Amino acid sequence: GNSVTQMEGPVTLSEEAFLTINCTYTATGYPSLFWYVQYPGEGLQLLLKATKADDKGSNKGFEATYRKETTSFHLEKGSVQVSDSAVYFCASNTGNQFYFGTGTSLTVIP
């Protein structure tokens, strides 16, 4: 069946550090892939997406590349800021069936 697995947190980084949050998926067919961000007390917001293999999604300095060969969609940012502190969710969509990872909490300290 379909599923999404992402690295467990919490992750704590110093400002300007490099961020990687790993995400892998299993799917029948070819899903679309997403990263969502949830700031404290708010709903989930779409951060970036990729709809086919080798697509790179990017937004606000975050990037993720759809890797079909490794079934991965790792989230990266070269230099994190305190304002990036949030929970990040990886998700897949096949035929309007969405599958979410368990979320990774990120705290960036000054």
Partner 1 sequence: DTAVSQTPKYLVTQMGNDKSIKCEQNLGHDTMYWYKQDSKKFLKIMFSYNNKELIINETVPNRFSPKSPDKAHLNLHINSLELGDSAVYFCASSRQGDSPLHFGNGTRLTVT
Q: What are the residues binding partner 1 (CB under 8 A)? A: 32, 34, 36, 38, 42-46, 49, 51, 87, 89, 91, 93, 96-98, 100, 102-103, 105
Work out whether strand 19-21 and strand 11-14 pair parallel, antiparallel, or are unpaired. Answer: unpaired
Closer residue to partner 1, CB minimum distance, 42 or 110: 42
How near is the Cβ of 72 to partner 1 at its closest, in Å? 18
Q: Which residue, 38 or 72, is less far from partner 1 as judged by CB?
A: 38
Q: How far is the CB of 5 from partner 1 (least distance, A)?
A: 13
Structure tokens at 100: 């979410």
Which residues are CB-contacts of 41 (< 8 A; sequence separation ≥ 6)?
none
Residue 15 or 67 with smaller CB distance to partner 1: 67
Q: Cβ of residue 80: shortest distance to partner 1, in angstroms?
A: 19
> Phi, psi at residue 84, to the nearest 5°?
-85, -5
The residues that bridge with 27 in the sheet, in sequence order, are: none
- Tell the smallest beta-carbon distance from residue 79 to partner 1 (Å): 25
On whether the CB atoms of residues 106 and 86 are closer than 8 A, the answer is yes
Comparing C-alpha atoms, which of 16, 56, 21 is closest to residue 48? 56
Q: Which is nearer to partner 1, 14 or 56 (CB)?
A: 56
